Structure 1
Amino acid sequence: MSKFKKKKGGELPPVNTASLPDIVFMLLFFFMVATVLRKNDLKVLNQLPPADQIEKLDKSRTVFIYIGKPGEGYTGKSKVDIVQIGDRIVDVTEVKSAILQEVTNLREELQSSAIVALKIDKDAESGIVYDVKQELREANLPKIIFITTPNKSVN
């Protein structure tokens, strides 16, 4: 007789699934962080003018205004330049109330330092830009920046 006995079944042990929930949650958090959600559905043509002196923008405290000709998503009849704030097309006279509503959507600690970023089509009329800037002054939002595309060969 021998001291060592051979196992009779030769079966594989079951797979340990104790770490499976950890792996699933790690994947979930990775995709939540890595996914970029689009905020606005553009209804305005927006080909930005080039500039040679640009800097990075902190988007957490920024509200965007788009100005330009109507684009694909626009269902109205206007052929002149239009103003879009968020997902809404607004008249120039409604800019003040619409922008203040967008600022209140920011986190409370960022509302006092909100920046308004104008994304203006390069072929937009300057009159509507002037009117929008006047409305922003009346709304007491003096921090206005213009968004451009980077281009080193501007004349």
Structure 2
Amino acid sequence: MSKFKKEGSKELPAISTASLPDIVFMLLFFFMVATVMRDSSLKIKNNLPSAAETEKLGQKNLIMFIYAGKPSDQYKSMGEEPKIQLNDKFAELKEIAAFVAAERASKREAEIPQLIAALKVDKETNMGLISDIEQQLRKVGQLKINYTTKKGSGLK
């Protein structure tokens, strides 16, 4: 005779799912906060030049990006010469004025003087195109211009 008797099969208690909605909403909130939405997809090669002294700009909503460089491999049909990209499309020099006007129209009146045109230019792009972009920006009164670089030694 054994001292211990086996009772009938005991069922495991049910798992409580009361905290499951809390966990789901906590994960949802985390991913909503941590996810970065892409503004535009690049259609050009954009190997930025290096600079030793760099600083980050303040409010990202006050920056309008102008990209310049040779078309990327999937857009080789556009040619080999450097192109300008505004938002998600290739553009001509004369379209820069309309781009700046649209960006200004989307901002509050107090923010318009603080708008910065950030040029993200491939380091292989010739200076003539950059100068033409600057001239177009001057014509529309956009005098705050920033050249975006990557951190590193400027002498390389």
Both structures adopt the same fold (TM-score exceeding 0.5): yes
- 1:33-91 C-alpha deviation (Å, 9 max, x unpaired): 11122221111111111111100123231111111111124364332111001101110
Tell me, in whole angstroms, the C-alpha distance in 2 between the residues paired with 1:60 and 1:151: 26
Q: Contact between 1:45 and 1:69, CA under 8 Å: does it hold in 2?
A: yes
For 2:100, the equivalent position in structure 1 comes to: 99
Change (3 A) 1:29 1:111: farther
For 1:121, the equivalent position in structure 2 comes to: 122
Secondary structure of the equivalent of 1:134? helix
TM-score (norm 1): 0.82
The equivalences for 1:1-155 within 5 A come to 10-58=10-58, 59-74=60-75, 76-106=77-107, 110-152=111-153, 154=155
Tell me, in whole angstroms, the C-alpha distance in 1 between the residues paired with 2:129 and 2:25: 49
Unaligned 5+ runs, structure 1: 1-7
Q: Contact between 1:62 and 1:116, CA under 8 Å: does it hold in 2?
A: yes
- The CA RMSD measured in Å over matched residues stands at 2.5
Task: Return the offset for 1:125.
Answer: 1.5
Tell me, in whole angstroms, the C-alpha distance in 2 between the residues paired with 1:132 and 1:55: 23
Secondary structure of the equivalent of 2:146? strand
Unaligned 5+ runs, structure 2: 1-7
Mean Cα deviation higher: 96-105 or 64-73: 96-105
Task: Return the offset for 1:112.
Answer: 3.8
TM-score (norm 2): 0.81
AA matched with 2:29? F
